[in-house]
């Protein structure tokens, strides 16, 4: 298959998924979905995952993790009782990360290197990978959610991921670690408001049909109305990567793995789009 982004997925990271004893029954479908999605993604034999987490937050610029090895202990800073410390050890891809930073800078996207040996992963990056790649076989490059970036810049960033992968001959799976609707309330058992859940289902249907142009046109209204996580920025990066594929004439289709489930008023599901 051709290099570039070969699949792009939205994946849940709710902190109750980090440890089995904390996962309520109504969220087990999210675990099952990520496990099944992981099997499907690993079967594609990607060279790396690029993970855009809604919980690694940078104010001004984009960074790529340039470490050749990721090792440490992940604590959920907002919920240390749920994720008090999960050890991780995964491969990085410094060559890809450095090339991605170069691509951002060439395109006028403010970007830099995260090459500190003291960097620790956020739970939004780790939790999905516990199920998508439980044996930690696939290298990982992380990128953050940038507060100052609008949707257009996020989409441009996603297109740059595809361009970098093509230039290096890499087969990349892009992962947006994000909820869909994210109008939170206290009480993890609460579902989203019915009207927001219906809008989530409409957006998920667009992804499953590979209707990239339709999703792009509706996205500003959708993300605003459902109160998407981090203003929909990780989902916008995902759409940018898909826009790059769509612009090359790729025929796209999608699939949902597992069900749709709530977490404190948010809506979550594993949904992937790939070439037909």
Backbone angles phi, psi at 29, to 5 degrees: -65, -30
pLDDT band at 246 (very low <50, low <70, confident <90, very high): very high
Domain 4-275 has CATH 3.40.830.10: yes
Pair 149, 233: CB distance under 8 Å:
yes
Model pTM score: 0.97
pLDDT for 258-271, tens place per residue?
Answer: 999 999 999 999 99
Q: Per-residue pLDDT tens for 115-134?
A: 999 999 999 999 999 999 99
Describe the chain by its helix, strand, coil percentages, rounded to 5: 40, 30, 30
187 three-state secondary structure: coil
Residue 105, both tokens: 């800078």
Q: Give the pLDDT confidence score for residue 276 in this predicted structure.
A: 86
The answer to whether 149 and 107 are in contact (CB under 8 A) is no
Q: What pLDDT score was predicted for residue 118?
A: 97
Rounded CA separation 40/116 (Å) = 33
* Mean per-residue pLDDT, 55-76: 98
- What's the pLDDT band for 2 if we cut at 50, 70, 90? confident
Residue in this structure with the two tokens 């898909």, named with its chain if needed? 242
Specify whether the CB–CB gap between 35 and 20 falls below 8 A: no
What is the tens place of the pLDDT at every residue in 141-184? 999 999 999 999 999 999 999 999 999 999 999 999 999 999 99
pLDDT at site 1: 67
Instruction: Share the mean pLDDT of the chain.
Output: 98
Query: Can you tell me the distance from the alpha carbon of 74 to that of 227, in angstroms, rounded to the nearest whole number?
Result: 27
Over range 6-32, report the average pLDDT: 97
Quick one: what percent of the chain has pLDDT higher than 70?
A: 100
Query: Could you read off the pLDDT of 179-211 as tens digits, one per residue?
Result: 999 999 999 999 999 999 999 999 999 999 999
**What is the H or E stretch that residue 205 is in?**
helix 194-208
For residues 60 and 111, what is the distance between their CA atoms, to the nearest angstrom? Answer: 9
Residues 6 or more apart whose Cβ sits within 8 Å of residue 58: 144, 145, 146, 147
Q: Which two tokens stand for residue 54?
A: 């809604």
- Residue 207 contacts by C-beta under 8 Å, 6 or more apart in sequence? 10, 215, 254, 271, 273
Distance CA 161, CA 159 (A): 5
Distance CA 3, CA 170 (A): 5
């Amino acid at each position: 298959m051709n290099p570039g982004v070969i699949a792009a997925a939205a994946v849940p990271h709710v902190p109750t998924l980090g440890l089995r004893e904390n996962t309520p029954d109504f969220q087990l479908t999210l675990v099952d979905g990520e496990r099944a999605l992981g099997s499907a993604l690993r079967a594609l034999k990607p060279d790396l995952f690029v993970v855009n987490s809604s919980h690694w937050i940078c104010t001004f610029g984009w960074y790529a993790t340039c470490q050749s090895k990721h090792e440490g202990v992940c604590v959920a800073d907002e919920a240390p009782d749920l994720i008090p410390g999960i050890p991780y050890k995964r491969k990085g891809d410094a060559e890809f990360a450095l090339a991605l930073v170069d691509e951002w800078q060439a395109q006028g996207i403010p970007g830099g290197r995260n090459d500190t040996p003291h960097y620790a992963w956020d739970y939004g990056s780790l939790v999905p990978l516990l199920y998508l790649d439980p044996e930690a076989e696939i290298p990982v490059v992380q990128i953050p959610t940038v507060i100052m970036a609008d949707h257009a810049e996020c989409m441009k960033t996603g297109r740059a991921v595809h361009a970098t992968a093509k230039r290096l001959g890499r087969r990349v799976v892009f992962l947006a670690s994000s909820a869909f609707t994210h109008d939170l309330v206290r009480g993890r058992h609460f579902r989203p408001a019915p009207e927001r859940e219906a809008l989530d289902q409409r957006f998920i249907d667009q992804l499953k049909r590979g209707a990239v142009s339709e999703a792009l046109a509706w996205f500003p209204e959708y993300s605003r109305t459902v109160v998407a996580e981090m203003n929909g920025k990780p989902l916008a990066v995902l759409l940018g990567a898909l826009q790059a594929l769509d612009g090359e004439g790729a025929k796209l289709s999608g699939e949902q793995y597992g069900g749709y489930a709530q977490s404190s008023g948010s809506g979550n599901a594993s949904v992937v789009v790939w070439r037909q």
